[in-house]
Chain A
């Protein structure tokens, strides 16, 4: 695949190296000559210029690229680059980085490309997940937030411990997908028996998570964690 990466900061540099290493044709755009040099030294092609301008994007070969990732540290620049890629050059897949969570609302598909990646959101999700005992974590939001993939670890005292999935009545509009147990993935089947420490991965429609949490968490924890 031909990939155009706009922004040669830490994210762009790392992404370029990873994609080039797996055999993709990568070109990086940045307006800072120092950042460009550092990417060039890593053996990746660089175009030095303003990635918000058609002139620079065309020099970098935007017309032939399959994917564009706008990953500068400036949200308005990422949005403009994504807008141009989408609107003017019809790049098949456009991904934009959200730096400031307060700007996330600006990144709609019409303006910000197919996917908006918010690192603050991702990192906080991962940290919450690592911290989690008796707290439900949203791993991914689908359909504009109407459906969530959630994860929760079975805490000591949960009445799920020792029960089989077939014996548990799941709340409406939820489905159990799998359980992670000591690093193994157990796909949810009727004969699955829950153990303490299992990480349950489930999908839930908007509004159905509290009922799911109430099912998984010990009675007292469910009240405090879900107001």
Chain B
């Protein structure tokens, strides 16, 4: 596919490399031409110098035929603006904005812009590592809206049914790992001490699952 990457910083370069390796056509846009120096000889795509919301720059970058656009400049306002324009004016099918301010990220997400909020995402990961050592996030789906979490079953839950942990629309136990083997839960399956459960959980329901699994 044809991908436009706005911003040739660390994230932009890494993303460009991943896209090139996947065989996609890549155009990188940055207002500072020296930013392209960081692209190595592996970079086979195009470089366009200019401000990302400039109409001529976008057209030069091929926005009319792009399949996707990722806005990863250091400025939240530029990132969201370019995504809005790419989506609404040029009908680019997939746009993603990196937004540092978590509250702005929420607004833009509600406005239908796929948004990556590295600050809130990073803080959640760090608190997991610092405070929830018995708790491992194995996979974040979407922008962390749903996570696949592995946790240890405390002694007090031994003998209870797996189903009791499930909460419709919020928490679903997807697998139980016992003595090194993983099982998909079946009706009537009971938990045992030392089990580890892997649950799909809505990020908003994490506290609830943590309370259920508290020692």
Contacts and interface: CB of A to CB of B under 8 A. Distances in A.
Nearest to A55: B103
Contacts of B14: none
A53 B101 contact: yes
Contact of A79 (B55, B81, B104, B111): B81
Given A76-B77, A80-B77, A83-B80, 5 more contacts: A54-B103, A79-B81, A106-B81, A106-B85, A110-B88
Interface of A: 52-55, 76-77, 79-80, 83-84, 87-88, 102-103, 105-106, 108, 110-111
9 contacts: A52-B101, A53-B103, A76-B53, A79-B77, A79-B81, A80-B104, A103-B54, A106-B85, A111-B85
B163 interface: no
Binding site of A, secondary structure by majority: helix, strand, loop or mixed?
A: helix
Contacts of B139: none
Q: Indicate the size class of the contact surface on chain B.
A: 10 to 19
A73 to B, nearest CB: 13
Contact of B107 (A77, A87, A102, A106): A87
Contacts of A80: 76-77, 80-81, 104
A84 B77 contact: no
B101 to A, nearest CB: 5
Provide the main secondary structure of the chain B interface: helix
Interface string B82-109: 0011001000000000000101100100
A54 B85 contact: no
Contacts of B80: 80, 83
6 closest cross-chain pairs (CB), A and B: A80-B77, A54-B103, A76-B77, A88-B107, A76-B81, A52-B77
